A and B are shown apart, each in its own frame.
Chain A
Amino acid sequence: MDKQTETTSQSHQINVRRVRQGDLDHVADLDERVTKIAKTEYWNDIFERYAKRRVKERFFLVAEATDDSSEQPLLGYIVGEVRTWEFGSEPCGWVFAFSVEPGTRLQGIGEKLFGAISQKFRQTGINTMRTMVPRQNQLHMAFFRSEGMVAGPYIQLEKDLNE
């Protein structure tokens, strides 16, 4: 499993904080390097909505190295928000974007981002957080499982509209 993971032996001192305008290019760049798809407009929109509006229930967090050990200014990001009564669900936290710099994985950066957003969600008074992962993405599936996430009470359904 987890054959996509790349690591370096170097570990970093990490700080997790809210995203700033100057981080946006680095976030978009990390996402593009990992997914091979450039989404500049998407990230501009996410920044406008998740870094500027309703920030008490929307969290766009980034991890940065606090020492000089990293060539990359940002080592990862996580984005989520509290959603209320979607699909009849009581308020819960949703994580919908998450990535860690490939060369710095398995050093606890993802765990710090996950822990930070969990804490932010808890501070809003909710007790549950959710995410959605492609079944074939073993890297993310294994990570979220290792953080204690299990299958929830909902099943995602879809339909091919061309059938």
Chain B
Amino acid sequence: MKLQTSSRLAIFALIELAADPDRQVSVSEIGQKYNVSSHHLAKVMHTLGRAGLVRSIRGVGGGYSFSGNAKRTTLFDVIMLFEDADSSEYTPEGSQDATLAEWALGQVLFEINDIAKATLESITISTMLKQMGRRQSTLAASGMKDASESAVQ
């Protein structure tokens, strides 16, 4: 499964902001960390703002902060803001005018889509942060640095 760039950026931005909901982070700061243009990221942040997941703070020292519920916001919720991840192209019944081969392939693709959707629906921003924390602990125990630590600071 491949996510569109906007979906990936939105997830990264939400993780960044939800990690410290009191902190205000500028678009350029997030853009620099993930090596993307501020212009593209600004559009993504605007969509997240309209969904109530981030809050924009204007003025000096302004930026964005997290305003959603990290334990309730799933990856699927975020992705659906940018692309149709709930495609009904394949169904268990299949199209009525499909050949048997098309029906059989449709069954396989439906199964794959259904598993992917269930996975994305079950993972929240909070779970992503926990997973990152566990990874960080593992890396720290083995004396290695994670990519974000060496990339930005």
User: Which A residues are within 8 Å of any B CB, using their own CB?
Assistant: 1-2, 106, 135-136, 138, 141-142, 145-146, 148, 151
Contacts and interface: CB of A to CB of B under 8 A. Distances in A.
A145 B74 CA distance: 11
B115 A148 contact: no
Chain A, interface SS category? loop
B124 A146 contact: yes
A148 B122 contact: no
Interface of B: 71-72, 74, 76-77, 114-115, 118-119, 121-124, 126-127, 130-131, 134
A142 B119 contact: no
A1 B126 CA distance: 13
B118 A135 contact: yes
- Residue of B122, B124, B127 with highest tally of chain A CB at under 10 A: B122
Contacts of B130: 146, 148
B114 A146 contact: no
Given A1-B72, A1-B77, A2-B72, A138 B121 contact: yes
Given A145-B124, A146-B71, A146-B130, 8 more contacts: A1-B122, A141-B122, A142-B74, A142-B127, A146-B124, A146-B126, A148-B130, A148-B134
B34 to A, nearest CB: 23
Given A1-B72, A2-B72, A148-B130, A138 B122 contact: yes
19 contacts: A1-B77, A1-B121, A1-B122, A1-B124, A2-B72, A135-B118, A136-B118, A138-B122, A141-B118, A141-B122, A142-B74, A142-B121, A142-B122, A142-B123, A142-B124, A142-B127, A146-B130, A148-B130, A151-B119
